[in-house]
Amino acid sequence: MLNINYFASLREEFGSSGEALALPAGVASVADLVTYLVRERDPAWAMLEDSSRVLVAVNQCIVERSHPLEGNEEVAFFPPMTGG
């Protein structure tokens, strides 16, 4: 089971802080998961495709979209942050 978390503006846009999702058939990477979520949800979810606006962490480590998924990870989607 994937534990998916949405942070900051994504949480507000999607109306949810997270969900549990069984790894869908054909989803082998973060990129595949993004494609699945965008295809299965309403148009607002397309923002996940923009890697300049949405970062991804798997098990609390920022990863590339090519990162493989096995189905038992924590996946977090969040906007880039700035310090100051």
pLDDT level of residue 1 (50, 70, 90 thresholds): very high
Q: Is residue 24 part of a domain?
A: yes
Distance (Å, whole) CA 71 – CA 15 = 24
- The 10s digit of each residue's pLDDT in 26-83 is 999 999 999 999 999 999 999 999 999 999 999 999 999 999 999 999 999 999 986 6
What is the tally of structural domains in the chain?
1
DSSP conformation letters of 26-45: T--BHHHHHHHHHHHS-GGG
Looking at the domain assignment, is residue 83 inside a domain?
no
Whichever domain contains 44, its CATH number is: 3.10.20.30
The pLDDT score that the predictor gives to residue 81 is 80
What pLDDT does residue 58 have?
98
Write out the residue range of the structural domain in which residue 29 sits.
2-78
Give pLDDT, residue 59: 98
Domain for residue 65, yes or no? yes
Confidence (pLDDT) at 72: 96
Question: Containing H/E element for 56?
Answer: strand 55-58
